[in-house]
């Protein structure tokens, strides 16, 4: 049995940026807002992506290193219309969208 304390301020998951400086400044994401759903993805090439869904406004964005970290791209109905994504990236975005919106209440 573990004797460690389960502190609420202890990070559950932390990731370092793997992209070069040419990809821009990576987003700084935290989970301080309970109204956010967050997702992380890394493909077979080490390219990283972060999905952020805001439950208050019902909008999501994806930031991808190879598409310029500094520019979040809108997610619309589980897709990212302004980017060409690999199949694994599309499946990940769709899974994040479904997880974030499945129990969404009508506003």
Predicted confidence at residue 84, as pLDDT, reads 94
Q: Which comes out higher in pLDDT, residue 95 or 106?
A: 95
Considering just the CA atoms, what is the radius of gyration of the chain in Å?
15
Q: By the 8 A CB rule, do 38 and 62 touch?
A: no
The pLDDT of residue 23 is above 50 = yes
**What confidence category does residue 90 fall into, taking pLDDT thresholds of 50, 70 and 90?**
very high
Q: What is the DSSP letter of 78?
A: T
Q: What is the mean predicted confidence (pLDDT) over 17-40?
A: 70
pTM (2 decimals)?
0.78
Q: Is the pLDDT reported for residue 78 higher than 90?
A: yes
98-101 long-range contacts, Cβ below 8 Å, gap at least 24? 99/37, 99/39, 100/37, 100/39, 100/51, 100/53, 100/55, 100/60, 101/53, 101/58
Spatial contact of 25 and 72, defined as CB atoms under 8 Å apart: no
pLDDT at residue 20, as a whole number: 54
pLDDT of 107 reads: 46
């Amino acid at each position: 049995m573990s004797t460690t304390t389960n502190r609420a301020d202890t990070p559950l998951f932390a990731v370092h940026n793997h992209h070069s400086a040419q990809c821009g400044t990576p987003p700084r994401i935290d989970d301080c807002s309970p109204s956010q759903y967050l997702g992380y993805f890394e493909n077979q090439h080490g390219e990283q992506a972060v999905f952020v869904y805001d439950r208050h406004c019902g909008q999501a964005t994806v930031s991808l290193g190879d598409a310029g970290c500094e520019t979040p791209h809108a997610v619309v109905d589980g897709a990212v219309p302004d980017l060409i994504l690999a199949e694994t990236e599309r499946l990940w975005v769709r899974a994040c969208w479904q997880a974030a919106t499945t129990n969404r209440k009508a506003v």
